[in-house]
Amino acid sequence: MPGYSDPGFDTLALHAGAAPDPTTGARAVPIHLSTSFVFESSEHAAALFNLERAGHVYSRISNPTNAVLEQRVSALEGGIGAISTASGQAALHLTIATLMGAGSHIVASTALYGGSQNLLHYTMRRFGIDTTFVRPGDIDGWRDAVRSNTKLFFGETVGNPGLDVLDIATVSDIAHEAGVPLLVDSTLTTPWLLKPLEHGADLVYHSATKFLSGHGTVIAGIVVDGGSFDWAASNARTGKFGELAEPYEGFHNMVFTDESTIGAFLLRARREGLRDFGACLSPHSAWLVLQGIETLSLRMARHMDNTAKVVEFLAGHSFVGRVGHPLLESHPSHALAQKLLPRGAGSVFSFDLLGSREQGKAFVDALQVFSHLANVGDCRSLVIHPASTTHFRMSDEALAAGGISQGTIRLSIGLEDPADLLEDLKRALRAAEKAGA
Residue numbers at the binding site for other proteins (CB under 8 A): 1-7, 12, 15-19, 47, 50-56, 62-64, 66-68, 70-71, 74-75, 78-84, 226-228, 230, 232, 252, 254, 258-263, 266-267, 270
By C-beta, is 149 or 260 nearer to other proteins?
260
By C-beta, is 78 or 418 nearer to other proteins?
78
Residues 173 and 201: their CA atoms lie apart, in Å, by: 9
In angstroms, give the least distance from the CB of 391 to other proteins: 33
Query: Helix (H, G, I), strand (E, B), or coil: what is residue 415?
Result: coil
Q: Identify whether the C-beta of residue 224 lies closer than 8 Å to the C-beta of residue 203.
A: yes
In angstroms, give the least distance from the CB of 60 to other proteins: 12
In angstroms, give the least distance from the CB of 219 to other proteins: 19
In angstroms, give the least distance from the CB of 357 to other proteins: 46
By C-beta, is 112 or 296 nearer to other proteins?
296
Residues 420 and 413: their CA atoms lie apart, in Å, by: 12
* 327 class by beta-carbon count within 10 Å (0-12 exposed, 13-18 middle, 19+ buried): buried
Count, residues in the chain: 437
In angstroms, give the least distance from the CB of 180 to other proteins: 18
Query: Helix (H, G, I), strand (E, B), or coil: what is residue 41?
Result: coil
By C-beta, is 31 or 262 nearer to other proteins?
262
Number of neighbours of residue 253 by Cβ within 10 angstroms: 9
By C-beta, is 46 or 102 nearer to other proteins?
46
Per-position DSSP letters for 81-139, written without gaps between them: EEEEESSHHHHHHHHHHHH--TT-EEEEESS--HHHHHIIIIIHHHTT-EEEEE-TT-H
Number of neighbours of residue 309 by Cβ within 10 angstroms: 14
In angstroms, give the least distance from the CB of 92 to other proteins: 18
By C-beta, is 164 or 202 nearer to other proteins?
202
